[in-house]
Every structure is written in structure tokens, then in C-alpha cells.
Structure 1
């Protein structure tokens, strides 16, 4: 995402896919992330950092992507239905 046009392309792809997959901050891991929605506003994200070798297996990759997206959808539904809640 070095240039504005590259960043726009990446964000467009993420919006279309509903998730992002990329390098994780931990060496040897990949990050899968999906947005949490509060109505039409992004309220955060849910992420999973599996080991990179696990992500090479198509069935494992698909299972992890589905789990992250399902979790984000469930959390987004809860946020939207009940409003934001403050911790503590």
C-alpha cells in the first residue's frame, strides 16, 4: 500500500471480498482480518493469525476465512442490534 492508488485498489478489493489476508506482525504467520460493523460504520476488526504453513492448505485456508467472516458477521449483528457497550 505504498501509493494512494495502490491503497485504493487494496481497499476496494478488501471491500469486495469482505476480508483481508496478508503478512502478520508475528514472523511465520499470516493475518486474516474482517471488519466489525456498527450499522454502516466500521467499529473495529476481528483477526486470526495462523501459521503461514497452515494457510498453504486450501481447505484450512477456506475454513479459517469462513470462521473469521462468520465471527465478524455475528459480532457486527450484535453491535448493530444492541448498540455499543462500554467495558467495565
Structure 2
């Protein structure tokens, strides 16, 4: 019985939906990656985002230069994206 429960539990992990990190990576790819992956020299590269920090990224998305790119994205998702990147 214990083995059956372990097999069923493991099976749940195999069919579980992708995590929030995958959602944030997809959002980054769609809205940010074309500039922040190196094609725009003045745009900080994604590898520098941890140095910038989540709070600064969030501020840029909500009140700074990146605000136009964040149009149509709810605040909770913007915070999650900033946390994911920073």
C-alpha cells in the first residue's frame, strides 16, 4: 500500500502544471527578452538583474522607463516578474 501511494504521489509531480517560474520566464521572453538579451546596448542584460534587485525592477516596471512595456499586466504579476528577475 505504501508503495502504491508513493507511485501515485510521484505521478502527480509528473503531471503537475508548470511552476510560476516558467510563467515568468515566458513573460520575460515575450515582453523583455528582445532588448534585455543583448540586442539593445543600453538595456541591462538579464544577468545583471540580480545586482539591480527586485525592488528596483518593480519600480521601473510600475513608475519608470519600463512602464509602457508593462501595460496590461496586473500588479501581482509585475511583482512576481520583478521577484523572479531580481
TM-score (norm 2): 0.28
Larger Rg: 2
TM-score (norm 1): 0.28
Larger relative contact order, structure 1 or 2 (CA cutoff 8 Å, min sep 6): 2
Write 1 or 2 for the structure with the bigger share of strand. Answer: 1
Write 1 or 2 for the structure with the bigger share of helix. Answer: 2
